[in-house]
Amino acid sequence: MGSTSAENTTGENDTTTGVGRRSLIKRSAALGLISVPTMSFLSACASGGGSENDDKPEAGKRTAENPLGVNDSAEMEFVLFDGGFGKEYAEDAVKVYEEKFPNATVEFSATQKIQSTLQPRFNQGTPPDLIDNSGAEQMDMGVLVGKNQLTDLTPLLDAPSYDDPDTKVRDTLRPGIVEMGQFDGEKVWILYYAYTVYGVWYSQKALDSLDAEYPQTWDEMLAVCEKAKKKGMAGWTYAGKYPYYIPFSLYPMIGKVGGTEVLDAIDNLEPNAWKHPAVKACFEAYYELQQKGYVLKGTPGLDHIQSQTAWAQGDALFIPNGSWVENESAKVIPADFGLAVSAPTGLDSSDKMPFGTIWASGGEPFIVPAKAGNGLGGMEQLRIMLSESSSKNFTSKVKSLTAYNGGTDGIELTPGLKSGVAALELAGDNVLNPRLQDWYVQLQKEKIGVGCLGEMMAGRLTPAETIKKIQGFADEAAKDSSIKHYKHQ
């Protein structure tokens, strides 16, 4: 998923030379020299995304070195989400592309404003060739797939891997990565590059100072939070301005308590899915944290950086987050912090799944637009990024795993990464992957996250009121014929 932010930063590759048609349109639009339609992104998708891209280069010759048949002199444009993982790993992979195709021009930029930056480009029918579609302004993946805005990445997955011509790219990936990119059927629309461990992050040093173990039941959780409170430390904080971080620990707790079928019913927008007793019990548990004063005061007004900083400074013990937090908070986490992640605490021994049940899945969704000028170049850039060397570079620089199944040999794992690997080992087969955030971005982020969970954790809605509101939003989405619907097979 990647981190979110309200700031916009862009960075051009200094080695970029030449101006292609897409660059000309983009820069002219930015200068106000041409008018850009101001229709919403969703309406742009509904209309098919504008005119056909008429400057697509001819494909190159397929060879052992160039199995996708990339035009070796065509411009390739890559727009990255500039979030918790930074942009250095991608810039390094771009250099490999440039070395491989010295006659090609690569235009690389990074921004935190993915939708507002790229909306005019989709409207014009001139999108980039490769996009890291992540962050607060992530474009709705379900809409993109439903309106045929994306390129099927099956040719990439069936191409020889960068390191071994006898092994397909798909056979080098972690379990579940290919399936995550599918929405309905065999086609793969998205390649999730990072492999994220979601859960409850904490300081082992702080936990030790309380003479406490990580709580496995909710009674133990409340006891630990009470101990922390007596020492002037809040039990929890979270990204109050982006409360869709709360599900990173709440959803797998629901799955642990009620079983995977509860989360599947929620993903499928089934009637009354949110009224399941497991949902009610988990909502009431989280609400209890708020009611007993175990949530850091002022949390509803904090963004992700502010909440992470307060947590790193010892103001709160636990925070729901993804494994990018280690890199994103590296400057504020003390050297002796003992960064660790755990699977969510459950209710009690009646839970359907064992302690250790965790949410882990692909993060940082990369897409190649259907109207990309050089889609084969975008896929080749991804093939490079899925090599062992690029994967190791990512892991060593940003303290997170990639979709490449390996890439940790010879790397000294950081505390958070080591803890994440241990959590995956403990989980075994009990790894959950809720799809709501992929299939229905607006529903998950704005309506459920900001509109409901954020209100409940601020004490402005009761669990019963929250469940009623969320079920109403889910029912609306299920009945909305303008929304493409997806279901677990």
Strands (E), 273-419: 316-321, 339-342, 358-367, 401-402
203, two tokens: 């300081």
Please enumerate in sequence order all residues whose Cβ is within 8 A of that of 128, keeping only pairs 6 or more positions apart, or say none: 22, 77, 78, 79, 118, 121, 369, 372, 378
* Cα 9 to Cα 91: distance, rounded to the nearest angstrom: 15
At 22 the pLDDT is 44
Helix (H, G, I), strand (E, B) or coil at 248: helix
The tens-digit pLDDT sequence of the chain (489 residues) is: 444 333 333 333 333 333 344 444 343 333 333 333 333 333 334 334 334 445 567 888 999 999 999 999 999 999 999 998 999 999 999 999 999 999 999 999 999 999 999 988 988 899 999 999 998 899 988 888 988 999 999 999 999 999 999 999 999 998 889 989 998 788 999 999 999 999 999 999 999 999 999 999 999 999 999 999 999 999 999 999 999 999 999 999 999 999 999 999 999 999 999 999 999 999 999 999 999 999 999 999 999 999 999 999 999 999 999 999 998 999 999 999 999 999 999 999 999 999 999 999 998 999 999 999 999 999 999 999 999 999 999 999 988 899 999 888 888 899 999 999 999 999 998 999 999 988 998 999 999 999 999 999 999 999 999 999 999 999 999 999 999 899 987
Q: What is the C-alpha end-to-end distance of the chain, expressed in Å?
A: 23
At 1 the pLDDT is 44
Give the DSSP per-residue string, 125-186: T---SEEE--STT---HHHHHHTT-B---HHHHHSBPSS-TTSBGGGGBPTTHHHHT-SSSS
At 55 the pLDDT is 59
* Cα 133 to Cα 111: distance, rounded to the nearest angstrom: 10
Common-topology check for domains 21-195+362-415 and 199-360+420-479: yes
Give the DSSP per-residue string, 273-304: GGGSHHHHHHHHHHHHHHHTT-BPTTGGG--H
What is the fold of 21-195+362-415?
Answer: D-Maltodextrin-Binding Protein; domain 2 (3.40.190)
Taking alpha carbons only, the member of 354, 227, 240 closest to residue 298 is: 240
At 484 the pLDDT is 87
Helix (H, G, I), strand (E, B) or coil at 234: strand
Helix (H, G, I), strand (E, B) or coil at 354: coil
- Distances in Å between the Cα of 467 and the Cα atoms of 76, 140, 305, 338, 474 are 46, 24, 28, 36, 10
122, two tokens: 């989709």
pTM of the model: 0.77
CATH superfamily of 199-360+420-479: Periplasmic binding protein-like II (3.40.190.10)
Helix (H), strand (E) at residue 42? helix 41-46
At 37 the pLDDT is 34
Domain positions in the chain are 21-195+362-415, 199-360+420-479
* Cα 378 to Cα 102: distance, rounded to the nearest angstrom: 16
Q: CA angle, 197 as apex, 150 and 141 as ends, to 5°?
A: 20
Does residue 328 contact residue 416 with C-beta atoms inside 8 Å?
A: no
